Structure 1
Amino acid sequence: MWTETKAELKEASGNKSSFRKHVLNSLLLCTGDMVHLDKYIQDKSFAVQLMVWGLRGVSRVILANNPLSGALILAALFWDSPWQCLLGTLGVLVSTLTALIIGQDSAEVSAGHHGFNGMLVSLLMGVFNLAGDWYWWLLLPACLGSATCVFLSSSLSSLLVRWDLPVAVFPFNLIFILYLLCTGPNNPYFPHHPAIPPGALEVNGTELSATAVLHGIPLGVGQIYACGVMGPSLLLLGAVFLYSPLLAIHAVLGSAVGTLAGLSVAVRHDSLYSGLSGFNGALGCMVVGGLFFTFNWRTHLFAIACAFLSAYVDIALSNLLGTVGLPACSLSATLITTLMLLLTGHLAIYRIPTAKVMAPEHNLISHNQWEAGEPEDKENTIV
C-alpha cells in the first residue's frame, strides 16, 4: 500500500510539473515575435491575415513585433480616447491595404512594416486637430496621409537599403509636418494647435514638483502614441513588456534619461510632467538597447548615450520648429538612431543586420550561440 501511495504521489507530482511546463510554454508562445502565428494564418481568410498584419503594424510604432502587443496597444488607445483609437486603426489599415494594392513586398506587409507610419500620421492629426473629437472630415486627410506614407517609405527604402538602414518613421515625420504646413492654425476645414517650444518662458511659473516629474517618466512611453494619461501609458508599457522585458526596461530608462536632459536645460514644466521630454529618449534607448545591437554592457551604455543625444536634439529641434508653431515629432530619435546604426569601430561588431532584427532576447541568444560555435563557422559568416 505504501509503495502504491508513493507511486501515486510521484505521478501526481509529475502531472503538476508537466502542467506547469505546458502553461509556461503557452505563455512563452505569446511573447517575442510570434513567428509561429504567421504559419498558422497562412490558410486562413484574408480578413484574419489583415488583422494580424495590422496588429503587427500597431506594435511596430513602439519597436515591437507582436500581434498581442498590438491588441493591448489598441485597448490602451481606446481607454484614452475612442476617437484616437479609431483614427489609429484607420491609419494602419489604409497604409497596409495601400501597400498590398501597389504590390509591396509581401514579407514586409505581413510584418507590419507598412502600417506603423500610417498609424502615427492619423494619430497625430487627431491630437493636433482644433475641431475636437469626432470631426469626421479629418478622416479624409488621415486616409490620404496614411496612404502617402507607403509611397514615401518605398522610395526611401531603395535608398537606405544600400547602408542596411531601416526607413523607420521618416515618412511619418515628413508627411505630418507637410500636413501642418498646408493647413495652419486658422484653416477653416482642418485647423490645428500650434506647437509650443519646450524652451518657452513659463507663464506664472511655479516651483517644480518632483512627484509630477517622476509621473512623467512612464508618460514618456505613452507619448510615443501621443497618449498622456497614466493608465493607458502603463498598459502600453505592458504591451512592450509582453514582447520583450529588456525592451520595456530600456523604454523606461530612456524616458528617464530624456526627462533628466529636459531638467538640465530647464524646459517648460508641462513638457516634463506630460512625458514629452522623455519619448524621444525612450525611442533612442530602445533602438540601441538590444534591438539593433546585441545587448551587453557596452551597448547598454551606448543606449543611454543615444537617449541623451535624442533628448537634447529633440529640445533643439522643438525650439527651432516651435517658432513657426510646428512640432519636432520623433525627428530627433530617428536622426540620431540612424547615425548610430552607421557607426564604425568596435561597437559596430554588435550591430544586427536589419533583416535579422527580432526581439532583444532572441538576438542575445542567437549571438551567444554564434560565439559558442566553431572558429571556422565564425569565419564563414564574416562578409
Structure 2
Amino acid sequence: MNRMAAWWEKIIGRSYALRLVDIHLRGAGQVMLQNNPLTGLLFIIGIVWGAIAAGDPEPAIGAVVGLVAATLTAMLLRSDKTSLEHGLFGFNGILVGAAVPTFLVMGPAAWFLLVIGAAVSTIAMLAVSHVTKPWGIPALTFPFVLTTWFLVLAAYSFGHLPIGIMGPPQLPVAPGSSAAGADLSAGLLFSACFRGISQVFLIDNGITGVIFVAALLVSSPWAAGLAIIGSTVSVLGASALGASAAEIGSGLYGFSPVLTAIALGCVFFRPSWRVALFALLGTVFSIIVQGALNAAVAPVGIPTFTAAFVFVTWLFLLPKVDLEPHRHEPVSNGIMTDK
C-alpha cells in the first residue's frame, strides 16, 4: 500500500489535472476522517450504487457537484494549501450535495441552492475552524450541518423549492412499545448495521454500506472495524431504548455513532483498551443525543444530519483527557491534519 501511495504521489506530481482529482477524492474520504484518495473514490462509487439502486441518481450527481463547488471555492479564496491538499475543504460540500436532492425536489432553483450551499460550506468551514482553533478541536461536519439547516429551512419560504421527504413540522411523539425493535433478528441486525454506515452519506442501502467498509479498510483497518462496531452498537442501543423499528432498520440511528466511534477510537486518539472504552461511551451517548435532537428538530421539520456526532465528539475532545493522542499537525486555519 505504501508503494502504491508513493507511486500515486509521483504521478499526481506530474499533472495538475490529476492533482485536482486527488484533492477531490481526498475530500470525499475526509467525510469519515480518512485522508486517502482511493477511500474517497470508493465512497463515491458507493454513493452512485445506492442512488441508482434507489432509482434516483440526483443525490450522486449532487454529491459530486457539491464536492467540486466547495473545493473550487477554497481554491478561489486561496485557502491554506495543506488543508486543501488533504481534502479538508471538500467533505462538507459533498454532504451538502447529497443532502439537498435527498430532501428537496430538484429543479433549477434547487440546483442553484445546492451550488450556493456547497460554496458557503467552505466559508463556514473557515469560520468554524477559526472559532474552534483556540480550543484545539476540529470543525468536523458542523459546517455541513449549519449550512444545510439553512438550505432546507429556506424551502418552507420559497415556492420554487418544493419539499420532498422532509417534514412536515410536528411535535415529537414517542413510538409505542410495539414499534420498538425488541425482536431484533440476525438479518435485521446485519442489514441495519450496514445501512447505518451508508447513511453517513444519506444513502439507505446495505450494499453501499459494505462498499464504505471496504473503502475504510483501504485506509485504516481500525476505522473499518470501528465503523462496524459503532453501527452495531447503535442498532442494539436504539432497540434497547425502544426507538422506532423503521428508523433503526433504515440506519437512522447509526450514522452519527459510526463517525463518533471512528473519531474517538482511532483518529484523535491512538487505539488502546482505555481509548476503546472511551470511544464506546461516546458512541452510546451519540445514540441518546441522536434521539434528543430528533425530538428537538421535529417541530421545525428538518433533519438532524450529523449534529449528534459533532456535539458528542466536541464534548469528548474538549476535556483533554489523559489518553495518548495521535500526532497531528495544526495548520493555519485551525484544522488538524495527520503528519
The residue type paired with residue 253 of structure 2 is S
Structure 1 runs of 4+ with >6 Å offset:
none
The residue type paired with residue 12 of structure 2 is I
CA distance in 2, matches of 1:199, 1:112: 40
CA distance in 1, matches of 2:146, 2:108: 24
2:12 is aligned with 1:41: yes
The residue type paired with residue 215 of structure 1 is S
2:238 is aligned with 1:266: no
Return 5+ residue gaps in structure 1 as ranges. Answer: 1-26, 364-383
The residue type paired with residue 178 of structure 1 is F
User: The residue matched to 2:32 in structure 1 has which SS?
Assistant: coil
CA distance in 2, matches of 1:306, 1:233: 22
Answer whether contact 2:267 2:326 (CA < 8 A) is retained. no
The 1:49/1:187 distance shift into structure 2, 3 A limit, reads same
CA distance in 1, matches of 2:257, 2:312: 10
The residue type paired with residue 75 of structure 2 is L
User: The residue matched to 2:231 in structure 1 has which SS?
Assistant: helix
Which residue is equivalent to 1:182? 154
For 1:1-383, list aligned pairs within 5 A.
27-30=1-4, 34=5, 37-38=8-9, 40-45=11-16, 47-81=17-51, 82-129=57-104, 131=105, 135-184=107-156, 187-195=159-167, 200-201=174-175, 205=179, 208-210=183-185, 211-347=187-323, 349-350=324-325, 352-353=327-328, 355=330, 357-358=337-338
Answer whether contact 1:184 1:192 (CA < 8 A) is retained. no
Answer whether contact 1:80 1:229 (CA < 8 A) is retained. yes
CA distance in 2, matches of 1:184, 1:193: 13
The 1:42/1:300 distance shift into structure 2, 3 A limit, reads same
CA distance in 1, matches of 2:199, 2:119: 23
Answer whether contact 1:121 1:146 (CA < 8 A) is retained. yes
CA distance in 2, matches of 1:284, 1:198: 25
1:136 Cα deviation (Å)? 4.7
Answer whether contact 2:47 2:208 (CA < 8 A) is retained. yes
1:185 Cα deviation (Å)? 8.9
The 1:188/1:158 distance shift into structure 2, 3 A limit, reads closer
Who wins on radius of gyration, i.e. which is larger?
A: 1
CA distance in 2, matches of 1:220, 1:80: 13
Greater CA deviation, 179-188 or 303-312? 179-188
CA distance in 1, matches of 2:337, 2:236: 29
Answer whether contact 1:198 1:315 (CA < 8 A) is retained. no
CA distance in 1, matches of 2:96, 2:6: 27
CA distance in 1, matches of 2:134, 2:7: 30
CA distance in 1, matches of 2:180, 2:304: 26
Return 5+ residue gaps in structure 2 as ranges. Answer: 52-56, 331-335
**1:296-324 CA deviation, whole Å, 9 max, x = no partner?**
11001111111011111011111111122
User: The residue matched to 2:59 in structure 1 has which SS?
Assistant: helix
CA distance in 1, matches of 2:101, 2:302: 15
CA distance in 2, matches of 1:287, 1:243: 14
CA distance in 2, matches of 1:93, 1:203: 45
**1:299-350 CA deviation, whole Å, 9 max, x = no partner?**
0111111101111101111111112211111111101111211123422x43
CA distance in 2, matches of 1:36, 1:100: 25
User: The residue matched to 2:304 in structure 1 has which SS?
Assistant: coil
- Identical positions, percent: 25
CA distance in 2, matches of 1:60, 1:199: 35
Which residue is equivalent to 1:375? none
Greater CA deviation, 75-84 or 110-119? 75-84
User: The residue matched to 1:194 in structure 2 has which SS?
Assistant: coil
**1:175-227 CA deviation, whole Å, 9 max, x = no partner?**
11111221129844332433589864369959745232332011111100111
Greater CA deviation, 199-208 or 98-107? 199-208
CA distance in 2, matches of 1:42, 1:190: 45
Query: How many residues in Structure 1 have an aligned counterpart in Structure 2?
Result: 325
Answer whether contact 2:25 2:41 (CA < 8 A) is retained. yes
User: The residue matched to 1:276 in structure 2 has which SS?
Assistant: coil
Answer whether contact 2:194 2:207 (CA < 8 A) is retained. no
1:121 Cα deviation (Å)? 0.8
The residue type paired with residue 46 of structure 2 is A
Answer whether contact 1:292 1:357 (CA < 8 A) is retained. no
1:98 Cα deviation (Å)? 0.4
Answer whether contact 1:62 1:283 (CA < 8 A) is retained. yes
1:261 Cα deviation (Å)? 2.1
The alignment yields a C-alpha RMSD, in angstroms, of 2.4
